[in-house]
Amino acid sequence: MSLAGLRILVSAGPTFEDLDPVRFLGNRSSGKMGFAIAQAAAQRGAEVLLVAGPVALPTPPGVVRVDVRSAAQMHAAVMQALPCDVYIGAAAVADFTPRQVAAGKIKKQAGMETLTLELVRTPDILAQVAASARRPRLVVGFAAETDQVEQYARGKLERKRLDLIAANHVGLAGSGFEADDNALVVYGRDGFERALGPAAKTELAHALLDLVQAQLAARGPET
């Protein structure tokens, strides 16, 4: 199914929150799922902008890429890219960042048995996109959970006022952040639920875009 004429914004990968010039807080996201979605959308004819955290992946053909490092940088890049028709937030964005970044390397000193870090909340990109005056026609989030997957995913869907959320159970062998395969359950409004996979992330990307296109078709043309 063609996505020609649509502008799709995808965020992918982790964010790195610097502690000092040497260390950072990060996560295990490889960016593979978000990059697969960007690639699949471009293959279907969409105009695709990919906001990518620090990952070692090539830019998919036909995709415009903006590289960022921190949650604040990803937030700024995503909000600047609005408006668009669809936003798919596949990035694993840090929820907290250090209040202060040390100018020099934090040194271990004699008798120093603990180190306390003060962390502050980062901007909630998904919630702000969904609440924006330039809100896309469809806002799709991701939820990576270790337990109570449906409960947490549906809670995030409602709390952030998303249209769809793709949930995956991290920590299972052969799927998740660093693997080439994954399994998703997509939840939507009015009790909508659809299981996708297990399959290669490239296949899941097309399956997810099928759901996106069905949602857009059900809503009718933009007014």
Catalytic (active-site) positions: 27
Residue 134 DSSP class: T
Residue 57 DSSP class: -
Is residue 204 a contact partner of residue 167, using CB atoms and an 8 Å limit? Answer: no
98-121: burial string, b at 16+ Cβ within 10 Å, e else = beeeeeeeeeeeeeeeeeeeeeee
DSSP labels, 13-26: SB--EESSSS-EE-
- Kindly report the backbone phi and psi dihedral angles of residue 207, in degrees, each rounded to the nearest multiple of 5, phi listed first: -65, -40
